[in-house]
Amino acid sequence: MKNINNEKYRDISNKIKSCDLNQYVNLVSLLQSSYSKEELANIYLYILENQNDIYILNYTIIQIDKLKEYRAIDLLIDILLLKDKFAKYENKTNEINNLRCVCAKVISNFKSQKGVYPLLYCLNNKDEDYKLRLSCAEALGKIGDKYAVIPLINILKDENEKSVYVKESAAMALGMLGDNRALNPLISILESKNGLVSKFSFLKERIIEVLSNFGSNNDDVYKALTLNLNDESPFVRISAIEALANCKEDSKEQTFRLIKNCLLKENNEDVIEACLYNLFNISNINSIQEIVEQNEENVKLKRIYDNILSDIKEDYCEESDL
């Protein structure tokens, strides 16, 4: 923002050099009551370019985000990429990375293709702080540029990627992007017996959630979800049950049978409850009652059904009113 060089902005910036964060917050409050939005934006841009205090920059970026000041994007990208700004803050690695995370978030709010390559650069750098990489993955999903699809898929498939959280964020970003090119890779990863997905149930849960969001009428997605009804993790089984219940309008009877079979062999109470709720959503209260009555020797099933019966009846009444 080299054109923002007005003397009054320079004077304000000089005053800030002697401010701590609390003093700066108070100063910003005064500025907001004295200047128009356009003038405030110019002040913030000047500060962003000429200040290097981490905390003041962080607060300034938040104000820029509130104003939706797109002209800041180049300066934000410079901070994200650590271009010659923080040499004197060698001991403040966490604070600097937190600032860069804020930059990634604000860049994503502009939804500009301009931010895609810098975000990918940081995301693909395995030496970067994992929290920054998470923020970059989420930002790419929010921007919605399809160029990010293949790099995000590659992160999920990369056996040398040690951060399960980065993989999870990549999966979430792919869900936000909603590009069908991700379907087969996601299915393959979910079905794989190797890698981080097989070791961390929450990553499986996330991939199931993503698949169900944009693959509800896909036969391969349906098959992959069905296989996960037998996963050793109850949380994965619950995710698969919920995803199947929202899948394939033309396969409701098949889905009902699958979840019913899962219910009758299940011992985990949370999974049993999930089965009952989702069977109700697929069919009706009479169908569930019939299952319970036909399996009256299953004391756990009967008890859980009785516990949630009032909730199911309430939902049934609301649907009937509609």
Query: Do 138 and 155 meet the contact criterion of CB atoms below 8 Å apart?
Result: no
Half-sphere exposure of residue 43, counting CA atoms within 13 Å on the CB side? 26
Rounded mean pLDDT of 58-75? Answer: 96
Nearest-Å Rg of the Cα atoms of the chain is 26
* Per-residue pLDDT at 313 exceeds 90: no
Exposure of 158 by Cβ count < 10 A (0-12 exposed, 13-18 middle, 19+ buried)?
Answer: middle
Residue 315: band (very low, low, confident or very high) from pLDDT cuts 50, 70, 90: low
Residue 189: band (very low, low, confident or very high) from pLDDT cuts 50, 70, 90: confident
**Which H or E run contains 56?**
helix 54-67
Q: How far is CA 77 from CA 5, 12, 119, 271, 312, in A?
A: 21, 24, 9, 45, 51
Rounded mean pLDDT of 205-217? Answer: 82
Residue 1: band (very low, low, confident or very high) from pLDDT cuts 50, 70, 90: very low
Residues whose CB falls within 8 Å of the CB of residue 140, separated by 6 or more in sequence, listed in order: 108, 116, 119, 120, 123, 148, 152, 173, 177
Token digits for 250? 């033309």
Smallest Cα–Cα separation from 118: which of 128, 58, 63?
A: 128
Residues whose CB falls within 8 Å of the CB of residue 135, separated by 6 or more in sequence, listed in order: 100, 101, 104, 105
Residue position matching structure tokens 């999966």: 171
Return d(Cα 182, Cα 31) in angstroms, integer: 47
